[in-house]
Every structure is written in structure tokens, then in C-alpha cells.
Structure 1
Amino acid sequence: MLFVEKNSLASVMKPITKLLNHNIIRVKINAQDFHFEAADQTEFEWQIFLVDNATDQKNVIQVESEYLSDRHQLELTSYYQFNSDAAGMALFNIRTHQSDQDFMINSVNLTDTDLEITGYNKINGTPIKDQRIILKNRVNDGKLDYPVSQTMFAGMFKVAIPLTDIPKDSVGELFVEYTLNDRQILQRMIISKSLAGQSVEADLPNNRVITIEKRFDNGILVKEFQGASLLQKVAAAGGKAHGVLDVCRMVQDKLNLARMRFLFKSGHSPYENTTIIFESFGGRQVSDSPYAIYQLFKTLYPGIRMVWSIDRSQKAFCKQNQISYVIRRTNKWVRVLEKSQFWISNARFPSWVKKPSYVTYIQTWHGTPLKKLGLDIENVSMPGTTTAKYHRNFVKEANRWDALVSPNDYSTQIFRSAFGFNNQILKIGYPRNDELINTAPDDITAIKNQLGIPLDKKVVMYAPTYRDNQFAEKGKYTFELPFSLDDFHKSFGEDTVLILRMHYLISNALDISDYSDFVYDFSNYPNISDLYLVSDLLITDYSSVFFDYAYLKRPILFYPYDYHLYKEELRGFYLNYERDLPGKIAHNSEELLAEIHHALGHSDMSANQRFMNFYNRFCAINDGLSSLKVVNYVMHQIESGV
């Protein structure tokens, strides 16, 4: 058997040790032989091949597999799994460099009487001894201690903590303590998957409530608190009327959708005068590349009619800035959209929006892809669709675009493969990034004054991606910063401020009221390019914002504190995250603070070869004239009568 590692192309040959009945062969391997120390590799994906030397001609056949193993802990800091890829081929996966402070469990649930936890009690086949579950009280440093005595399956434990033992008004965090090879170990319990499907709330006598929450670092909190009083429950019951209203709105939305479909099927003819429709992120913003193109059109060709497709939330902005608009999903919206000659958008229109033959649809897209898109997603797990259906709809929508803007060759290749896109690509750079190239120092000072940022302090920007596990229940999101603001202030607070750019769902869950003198929340600020321009350092994780920020040749720091767990829940990356990034990677808060200190002392990355290799690959094409090139493309269509 030949094992070939997909990233490094390392190979390992193992002999077939036994031929069993029914054409079954046996190969014994030691998982320790299948990973090695490499500064830029902590994940190993081994493909498996059968090598046949029985004839004069050597045959090499890749091994298929339908087998999916569970996670097997190899060491405290590594584990392995057997898997199969989307094509059904066997994979032997090893992950290394985990934190030795964490212990992965399978489930955590609240029953009527107990807090129940299940997990493994072996590491690389070696039984864990004297295993104990500890619930540490974060309020007063007290702890509850429970020995593990019950097994669920071979190699798995189950423990039940009586809910009546949990103190009132407490916040507890789960830990495990055990002996392995005569070594005493204490680790934080973590769970990588979301808590969806698990029971996370229990009501006790005397109006007590216990809940389970998952922290940003996948740790598990157990909270006990006094439930709502009778008056509060009555007030909440009044809120249920909103539930009835929500149902009414849902019915109304469905009726409105049926009406929209009918209106789009009605015949329309184009306006006599050229009209361009702009839309950004489905109408939720007036921003991004469509807005950059719009602003240049207003300067160069104010005689052309331009209309923004917006949600009602953007009405005030449009009125304040004298922008013509139409509200989405109204009769007028259908009429204006169908009669316009040009659509310019950075996201997809709904599939039921009919594109007339006389419309030129320019898709600017909204970022250089890091995470896989469209056809490149091998297994689609979203509810209400299948992988084949999702792929089919994606290709159908993408090929309504007459032209697609690309920022570099890397993106062009991905757009072709991920979108199944066969029409024209405009490889000109993103218009939204023209501002990063053309803005002068005095303009940056003006932006700082507008935002209220001190001119005498350095600015660190934190812009992480959104994680599904931050969802608690419908309409409620939780968030906890993955580093201490107190520690940040102690280290940098004298001459540095921190600006936050969080996902809009998370921003309202963030309480920074105690840090208002040095932390600024700009999560809802419309123009992220302004935030790039005022920042001396960007910190991110898996968000694609770093592709744009690199235009400024300023330091970028990556803080993927949950990298292995997050990647397993994702659809995969196009880049090798550990090799291809333009900056240092910090894996914990201590490393983060140290790397911030280093990065703030190196404000210009022009002399950094690794950074400039990244810049030349992803940014060099943009000369600050991308918006003009789109405007010229549209004007050429108008003048040639296309």
C-alpha cells in the first residue's frame, strides 16, 4: 500500500501483512509514522493506493472508501481520522499542534435532573485512568468534582452531574482531570460542533434556570440564575403577540413573492433613456464596488439616469446624499429593474428575477475568495437543497452575468471553476479598492477626524469572520472577544486604539462600554475602506478582508484561535492557510499580544519578501483606475448599441 500526502507529496510504503478470506487484505500501520515536523504544516491528508507488483507491469490503483471513522486521539496534541473525499476516495487524516490544554467531548446535555456529558476515555488505545469531571465556578473559584465510572460504548464515558448540585447564581466551566502514562493532566473541555440538537436549558423548582453556552474558544459554560418573575412572564407573554405578527408577515411575504414572480413574467420594454440599476449586498447597503462605480458615473456622466435598489433601511442615507432609489420587492422596483438597460451588483439577484435580453448585467462580486465557492464546494449541507441542486442553481445564476469583475489571475481561475462561468471576465481589480490607492495622507487625517479617532495614536483594526456557533437562538447572538481588552490596554493603551469591525449580527451583542476610551466599534460603518485607511495594523482570521488591506502594504496579523475546529466545519480553503498568508499567525492571546507589538514596529511591509510575493500575486494588477474601466466598459456598450 502506498500513502501519498496531498500537500507535501511525501510518500510512505507499507507492506500487506496478511491476505484474509474473501479477497480481503490487512495492512498494519502506526499513525505516528504519518506526520512529521514542518514549520508550515499541521494537517496531513494521505491518499491511499494499492501497488500491484505481481506482473511485469506495475499497477497503481487509488483506493476507494465508504468508511468514516470517528476521531482517534493520537497524542494530547494530535488526532487522526479515516475519511473519504467527495469522489469516494480514501483519506487518512492527521491533525497536529492542537492545544494540550483542551479535551474534546462528544456531547453535553441538560436533562430534567442532570448535566450529562459523553466523551472518550482512551488516547491512542491507552486507557485514561482516574478520570474526573470538574465544574469550576468562575464567580468564587469553587469547584464540583465527579469521578467517571460509567461507560457508554467501548472507549467512551458518560457522566451525570445532578442539577441540584449546581450553586445558585453561578457560572461554571467544565474541565477534565485524569492520569495518562503516570502523568497527571488537567484540561478544559471543548466541543467543536454547534449546540444545535442538544438540550441546553433546564427549569428547576423555585424558578431556577440552568443553561449551557459555548464560548468563543469552544469551551463550555454552565450558568445558573433566577428565572423570570410572574410579572416578567406576563410581559413576555405579551411579546408572543409579535409571534402572531411574524406569522402574518411570513404569509404576507409569500403572497408578495408570488406577486413578484407574476410581475416579472409580464412583458416589459426598455426605457428610451439609458438607465443603470445599482445594488450592493441585496440592497442592505449603498457601498462597495457598485458605489465606487456609481460615484464616478455621477462625476463623468451625470446625464445618465442611475437608480439604487435598496431595502427601506437605506432610505435615509439615499435622501441625505441625493441618491435616486427604488425599494426592493415593490411594483415600482420590478418595473425599474426590468426596463433598465444595465444592472451593476456585487451579489446575486433572486433566481425569480427575470433578466431581459436587452440588459447587460455586470457582476462586481465582493471579495477575493479564501473559502471555497459554488461548484468547488464538494458537499453542500445547507437545509432545503442538495449538492447537485445547489451547483445547478449557482451555474444558472452566474451565467446570467454578462461580465464579471476579477481582481487577479487567482480569482479569475476560481471564478471559472466555482461559478461554471463562461462569459466575459474583466480582470481589472475591484473598483472599491481604488480608494486605497488614490487616497492622500491629508484625506486619511480627515477620515480620522470624522470618525473621532485620535491623530496621535496608532490604530489596530480587528475584523474577524462570523462563526455559526455564535448563534444562540433565533434573533439572539452571543459574542465574547477572543482576547482580553484589559491585557490589550495594559500593553498598548497609552499610544494605541482598537477599532472593531464585527459581523452585523454580532455587533449588537458586544458590550465595550467599559473600554470606550480606547475601543471603537465600527461594525455598522458603511465604508470599510475608510477603516483600512486609518488602521496601522489589521488582525483577522478567516475573513477575506486581508486581500484588500494588503494594498496598503501595512502589516497583517492572523489570529485563528480555533483553526482546526473551524476548518473542519468549513467547506475548505483555496489557499494553504499555513503557508500562503502575508503575515504572522498567532494561535493564542499571549502570542497575539507579542505579535501586535512586533507588527506596530514595522509599519511598511515593502521590504518583506513574503508579503511582497503575496502583494504581487493578488494586488499588483490594480492601478487605482478600476472604476474608470467599468465606466468605460458600460459607455462602450452604450455607444456601440450592444
Structure 2
Amino acid sequence: MQFMDKIKKWIRFIMFYCFSCLYSLKYPMKDNKVCFLSDVRTTMGGNLKCVYDYLEDKEFERVIEFKADRRVRRTFKDKLKLIYNLATSHYILLDDFSNAITFMKVRKGQEIVQLWHGPGAFKKFGWSRANNGEDIGSIHRGYKKYTKATVSGQGIRWCYAEAFSISEDKIKATGFPRTDDFFNSQYIENTKQQFYLEYPELKNKKIILFAPTYRGVKVKDANYDFSQIDYSKMYEEFHDEYVFIIKWHPALYNNITMGEVDAPDLSQYGDFYRDFSSYRDINDLLIVCDTLITDYSSVVFDYVLLNKPIIYFTYDLKEYTSFGGRGLYFDFEEYVYGKVAYTQDELFDAIQCNELMESKRAVFYDKFMGECDGHATEKTCHWLFGE
């Protein structure tokens, strides 16, 4: 079965590449055309939206090629449209990897730009995982086709150069566009007002946002050890004062919705547990929450800009960071600007503590987010489009 799957994949690759070559010969590349490409979303959001909106009153033709999940197959007609848009776009912008980049023929002068979906550099990805001892199989070859990539701080350019297997001079620290909103006090106030208009029942509650990354070697295998949370005890301890909002990683949430992973049924706890995984943009949730619980997720980088308590629930730290595990770019302690909990009891204590750790927060910001200043979208677009 695996052999046949490989044959089918090669057939798809050859067909895609042949049509890509044909369209490159038949149609000219348009200097002002920008293709926004994602295999993990159906709606515009994140860094892609920031750039898309910035170009609205500029003389650019913007096209969108999105699909919800990499396992979703485009129809033949949609695939031809995708190939045409890729072949004729001067700029192709991504915020995650896409197999279409591997399959396509890159034209002379074409810009394949990775804006990535998370700032900072936490858990290893791409070619950085090649020597971790993990059984990850093949590594996405489209990474090497990137002509440019942006990052949130100067000190992490090397991490992305290693992950994409491209030279460091192709990586520029322009900041992270979606964090611009965190520097806009009116935006923050409007976000809170809109959120509580939609969810008035949460207005008089403190909000714990639980947003861990997934476990699993590959995205398609994304899972989580749900048993690490004592949901009954959490409810007993905090339901009077708090509401517990869950935001599963998109890869894990896709597996949950597709029936590949069984998430716990928390309906017995009334409105204490609220699943906001379908809430596409996490920025709003970071703004309204009072405390964030996460682990090795890149959300720690966005969150540092909001100056609120954070808890790292890293029950599997040794396994996750050791040889054969996912691995981190820096020592775990360099990512910490809040309480670390390894057990359920430590997690409860950390929630009640609400410690900010100001000095660690400042060091963290300088190292990972130093170019995030409220003007990242403008800096990114100036670098990409020469304006």
C-alpha cells in the first residue's frame, strides 16, 4: 500500500510540474501579481492578512489559494487554477509549508516568500530536525526554494536559515506583522468590547487560555495527552472565578474534527470549559485572557507583548527536548518568563500565583521579538515590494 501511495504521489508531482512548466511557457509572469498560498486555512488571517490588507490600495493584483488541510485534495479544475496563479505571480507568500512549492517550477525573478505563522524560534522544524534522532521521514523540499523569509528578531535569523536550508542573507528581521495590533491601544480596547458583545456571559469571569502545541512527529499525527489535565479538579478549584478557554493547535484540531483524535467530553462541567479552537486568529484570545497556559508553542512570543501572566505546563520536558524528541533551538530556560509546572498540583499553584517576572520578560523580548515595534507590516512590505 505504501509503495502504491508513493507511485501516486510521483504521478501527481510529475503532472503538476509538467503543467507548471507549460503554463510558465504560455503565460507571462505579472510583475504586480501576489499569490497568497496556504494549505492549512480557509480564511485570511495572521501575517498573510496583514500584508493582504496593506496592499489593498496599492497597484497589486491579489489572488488567494487556500485549502483547509493538506490532506484535502483539490479538484482537477482547482489544481489547474492554482498552477496558473503560481506560474503567473511575481510574489508567492506563505505562512506555512505547501507541497505546491515543491511541485512547481520556479521562474526566473519569482519571489517565494515565507512569512511563517509563528514568531520567535522555539521547537525545531524543517531541516533543523534532520539530526534530532526522530523518525520524521522525508523533509519538505519546498523549503529550499524560498527566496526570502522574515523573522521577529535579529538573533534568530540563523534558526530559520537552518530550518529552510537557505542562506542567512535571505532572512530578514522585519518583525512579525500580526503583532502590530498589540501596539495599538484602540485596537486592544475594540477587541475586548467586540469579544464581550459576542460572549457577554464571560464578562465577569477571569479567563484562562489553554493553548498548547501538539505532540506527534508529523503534523498529520498531531495529538495531545489529554489525561495530563485533571478536568474535574480544575473545575472544582477555579469555576467560581474563572472560565477555561481551550485553543487546540490547528493541526490537532483538524484531527479532532476529522475523527482521528478523540478529545475529552467536558459538557458535564457546564460553561467552565469553552472550546475556541475554531476561533481562527488567536490574537483576540491573547488580548482578552488573564492568564495563558501553554508549553512549547510559539504563542509565547506574541504574548510577551501584552505583559500578563504566563504558565508553561511542560509535563514532558525531558522527553520533548532530548535526542529523539522534537528539540528546541535554545535551552528551555531561555524561553521562560513565567512559572513552569510539571505536575497538576504545580499547575494549580501557578494559576493562583500570577507572577510576571519582569526582568526575564525583558530579556526574552530583546532576544526573540526585538524587531516587533508596531511597524512590522510596513517594514515587511517595504522589503518585499520595494516601496
Please state which band the TM-score falls in when normalised by the shorter chain: 0.7 to 0.9
- The question of whether the paired residues in 2 share the 8 Å contact of 1:470 and 1:478 is answered with no
Q: 2:296 matched to which residue of 1?
A: 542
> Larger Cα Rg: Structure 1 or Structure 2?
1
Match of 1:373 in 2: 125
**2:30–2:88 Cα contact (<8 Å) kept:** no
Amino acid at match of 1:595: A
Q: Give the distance between the partners of 1:399 and 1:476, measured in 2 at CA.
A: 24
Inter-partner Cα distance in structure 2 for 1:289 and 1:328: 28
Q: TM-score, normalised by structure 2?
A: 0.82
Q: Distance in 2 between matches of 1:297 and 1:457?
A: 39
Aligned length: 365
Report the Cα offset of residue 413 of structure 1.
2.5
Residues 517-545 of structure 1 deviation map (CA, whole Å, 9 limit, x = unaligned):
11111112211111111111111122222
| Cα distance change, pair 280–548 in 1 and its aligned pair in 2 (3 A) | farther
For residue 278 of structure 1, report the CA deviation from its aligned partner. Answer: 0.6
Q: Give SS of 2:337's match.
A: coil
- Work out which of the residue numbers 231, 235, 244 in structure 2 matches 1:485: 231
Contact 1:268–1:339, Cα closer than 8 Å, also in 2: no
Unaligned stretches of 5+ in structure 1?
A: 1-242, 315-325, 638-642
2:321 to 564, 567, 572: 567
Match of 1:333 in 2: 82
Amino acid at match of 2:213: T
Q: Tell me what 1:382 maps to.
A: 135
Query: Are 2:195 and 1:447 equivalent residues in the alignment?
Result: yes
1:383 and 1:582 map into 2 onto residues whose CA distance is 31
My pick for the range that moved more, 439-448 or 586-595, is 439-448
Aligned equivalents of 1:249, 1:450: Cα separation in 2: 46
AA aligned to 2:110 is V
For 1:563-587, what per-residue CA distance to the aligned partner results, in whole angstroms no more than 9, with x for missing partners? Answer: 2233334142222214541111111
Rate the CA distance shift 1:307–1:489 in 2: closer, same or farther, 3 A. Answer: same
**Residues 1:501 and 2:247 aligned together:** yes
Residues of 1 paired with 2:236 and 2:383: CA distance?
A: 52
Contact in 2 for aligned 1:405/1:426 (Cα 8 Å): yes
Cα distance in 1 for residues equivalent to 2:273 and 2:370? 33
Q: 1:360 aligns with which of 94, 111, 128?
A: 111
In the alignment, which residue of structure 2 is the partner of 1:265? Answer: 21
Q: C-alpha displacement at 1:556, in angstroms?
A: 0.9
Q: Is the 8 A contact 1:273 1:305 kept in 2?
A: no
Partner of 2:363: 613
- Structure-1 residue corresponding to 2:54: 296
In the alignment, what sits opposite 1:531? 285
Indicate the residue corresponding to 1:624 in structure 2: 374
1:369–1:489 CA distance, 2 compared to 1 (3 A) = same
Match of residue 322 from structure 1? none
Q: Root-mean-square deviation (CA), in Å?
A: 3.4
Match of 2:172 in 1: 426
TM-score by length of 1: 0.51
CA contact (8 A) 1:437 1:552 kept: no
Contact 2:209/2:244 (<8 A) preserved: yes
Contact 2:30–2:90 at 8 Å: present in 1 too? Answer: no
Q: Which of 93, 103, 126 is the aligned partner of 1:344?
A: 93
The structural deviation recorded for 1:552 is: 0.9
Mapping for residues 67-466 of structure 1, pairs under 5 Å: 255-266=11-22, 267-272=25-30, 274-281=32-39, 286-298=44-56, 300-301=57-58, 303-311=59-67, 330-350=79-99, 351-367=102-118, 368-377=120-129, 378-379=131-132, 381-382=134-135, 384-385=137-138, 390=139, 397-422=142-167, 423-438=169-184, 439-451=187-199, 454-466=202-214
- Say whether the 8 Å CA contact 2:112–2:148 is kept in structure 1: yes
Whether the 8 Å contact between 2:134 and 2:325 is mirrored in structure 1 is no
Determine if contact 2:134/2:217 at 8 Å carries over to the other structure. Answer: no
Structure-2 change in CA distance of 1:347 and 1:513 (3 Å): same
Looking at structure 1, the residues matched to 270 and 77 of structure 2 have their Cα atoms a distance apart, in angstroms, of 37
Matched residue type, 2:80: N
Q: What's the counterpart of residue 554 of structure 1?
A: 308
Structure 1 CA distance, aligned partners of 2:218 and 2:154?
A: 34
Q: Deviations over 1:96-138 (max 9, x none)?
A: xxxxxxxxxxxxxxxxxxxxxxxxxxxxxxxxxxxxxxxxxxx
Paired letter, 1:344: L
CA apart distance, 1:464 = 1.3
Contact 1:283 1:328 in 2 (8 A): no
Is 2:263 aligned against 1:514? no
Question: Shift in Å at residue 407 of structure 1?
Answer: 0.3
Matching residue of 1:596: 351
Deviations along 1:57-84, one digit per CA (max 9) or x if unpaired, are xxxxxxxxxxxxxxxxxxxxxxxxxxxx
User: Which amino acid letter does the alignment assign opposite residue 310 of structure 2?
Assistant: I
User: Aligned-pair distance for 1:489?
Assistant: 2.2
CA distance in 1, matches of 2:315, 2:7: 42
Distance 2:222 2:377 in 1: 39
- Indicate if the aligned counterparts of 2:207 and 2:291 stay in contact, CA closer than 8 A: yes
Aligned to 1:176: none
Structure 1 Cα separation of the partners of residues 274 and 244 of structure 2: 6
More helix by share: 2
Match runs of 1:7-26 below 5 Å: none
**Alignment check: 8 A CA contact 1:540 1:558 kept:** yes
Offset, 1:345: 0.9
Structure 2 gap segments, 5+ residues each: none
- The amino acid of 2:337's aligned partner reads P
- The SS at the match of 1:539 is strand
